[in-house]
């Protein structure tokens, strides 16, 4: 029989800790991945990089532009994901709790946990992307156009001056198409990976897990979630790079996206997928590991779990 589901009553301070942990883990991980992201973006939009992999692409960038080019876009990447990461992780905690309360009882929450994960990830990412979009547009322009601007402030100011709000948010629809599947892969797959591992353990084994075993489970779950996030979001990531470089016909955003997708074809939409899978696996796994440690350091409570026990 269904019974009431007691959910934690997170305070404003708890959500502030969730935001701070999410902000730090995302800005640190994305900032560290800037060189890979530079190469990935070049492969997606520059014909000279066609057919290159992550290592050959990196060597080509250094040979043509110098090692410093691998840090192009570091400023908007760090600032953008500071805001987006905080909003995404804190938002996921908030919306998951809210949807669990809407479910009403534990049995219903467990039964519909997939919908809860999907909904919480999607809604949290939507609001986070409002903060991310203008900074992501600036980053892509800096990476794709050499000498566009000297850094974040000048690049952002030039885009705002020349195109206004419309230019800064030109990529909002494609960034939603990219980031929402990304968030779904990141959070939902991570939740289910943990569930599968723990369901295979006895209660005694769970109690006696060493810190290295917990680390290994978190790392493996994060890597798997990262692969899923990369595959689900990569077509929109390719289109976003094209849109922010000004490619495609004029017209509505949906028309531009459909036209660019047709021109790229299946193979073109997944150009650069393997370096991005490597990058995303590192991003997602490191984010979850750092998020947990930073939360513990801030004495924040653990998140709400609704895993199926058997």
Flag whether 112 is in a domain. Answer: yes
Name the band, by pLDDT with cuts 50, 70 and 90, for residue 3. very low
Average pLDDT over residues 127-145: 86
Flag whether 41 is in a domain. Answer: yes
pLDDT in tens, 256-304: 888 888 888 888 888 878 888 988 998 999 999 999 999 999 999 999 9
CA distance 170 to 242: 11
Average pLDDT over residues 120-125: 98
Please, what's the b/e burial string for 242-273 (b: 16 or more CB within 10 A of its CB; e: otherwise)?
A: bbbbebbeeeeeeebbeebbeebeeebbbbbb
Flag whether 307 is in a domain. Answer: no
Flag whether 304 is in a domain. Answer: no
Flag whether 198 is in a domain. Answer: yes
CA distance 59 to 5: 55
Structural domain span for residue 54 = 12-297
Predicted local distance difference test score (pLDDT) of residue 62? 93
pLDDT in tens, 206-242: 888 888 999 999 999 999 999 999 999 998 888 877 7
pLDDT in tens, 183-208: 999 999 999 999 999 988 888 888 88
**Are the C-beta atoms of 143 and 37 separated by less than 8 Å?**
yes
Flag whether 29 is in a domain. Answer: yes
β-pair partners for 105: 4
Flag whether 2 is in a domain. Answer: no
CB atoms within 10 A of CB 14: 19
Spatial neighbors of 30 by CB under 8 A, at least 6 apart, are: 37, 77, 78, 80, 81, 85, 283
Flag whether 3 is in a domain. Answer: no
CA distance 52 to 245: 20
Q: How many independent structural domains does the chain possess?
A: 1
Residue 244 pLDDT greater than 70, yes or no: no
CATH number of the CATH domain containing 29: 1.50.40.10
Name the band, by pLDDT with cuts 50, 70 and 90, for residue 94. very high
């Amino acid at each position: 029989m269904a019974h009431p589901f007691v959910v934690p009553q997170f305070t404003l301070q708890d959500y502030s800790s969730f935001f701070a942990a999410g902000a730090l883990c995302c800005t640190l991980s994305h900032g560290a991945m800037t060189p890979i992201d530079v190469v990935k973006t070049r492969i997606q939009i520059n014909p000279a990089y066609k057919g290159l992999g992550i290592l050959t692409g990196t060597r080509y960038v250094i040979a043509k532009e110098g090692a410093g080019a691998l840090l192009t876009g570091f400023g908007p990447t760090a600032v953008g994901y500071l805001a987006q990461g905080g909003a995404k992780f804190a938002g996921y905690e908030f919306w998951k709790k809210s949807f669990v309360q809407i479910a009403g009882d534990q049995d219903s929450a467990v039964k519909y946990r997939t919908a809860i994960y999907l909904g919480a990830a999607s809604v949290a990412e939507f609001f986070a992307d409002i903060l991310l979009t203008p900074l992501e547009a600036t980053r892509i322009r800096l990476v794709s156009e050499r000498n566009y601007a000297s850094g974040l402030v000048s690049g952002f100011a030039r885009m705002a001056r020349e195109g206004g709000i419309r230019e800064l948010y030109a990529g909002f629809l494609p960034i939603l198409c990219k980031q929402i599947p990304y968030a779904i892969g990141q959070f939902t797959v991570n939740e289910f990976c943990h569930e599968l591992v723990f369901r295979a353990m006895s209660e005694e084994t769970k109690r006696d897990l060493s810190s290295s075993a917990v680390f290994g489970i978190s790392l493996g779950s994060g890597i798997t979630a990262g692969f899923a996030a990369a595959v689900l979001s990569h077509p929109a990531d390719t289109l976003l790079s094209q849109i922010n470089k000004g490619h495609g016909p004029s017209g509505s955003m949906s028309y531009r996206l459909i036209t660019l997708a047709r021109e790229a074809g299946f193979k073109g939409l997944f150009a650069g997928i393997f370096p991005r899978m490597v990058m995303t696996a590192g991003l997602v796994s490191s984010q979850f590991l750092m998020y947990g440690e930073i939360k513990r350091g801030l004495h924040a409570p653990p998140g709400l779990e609704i895993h199926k026990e058997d």
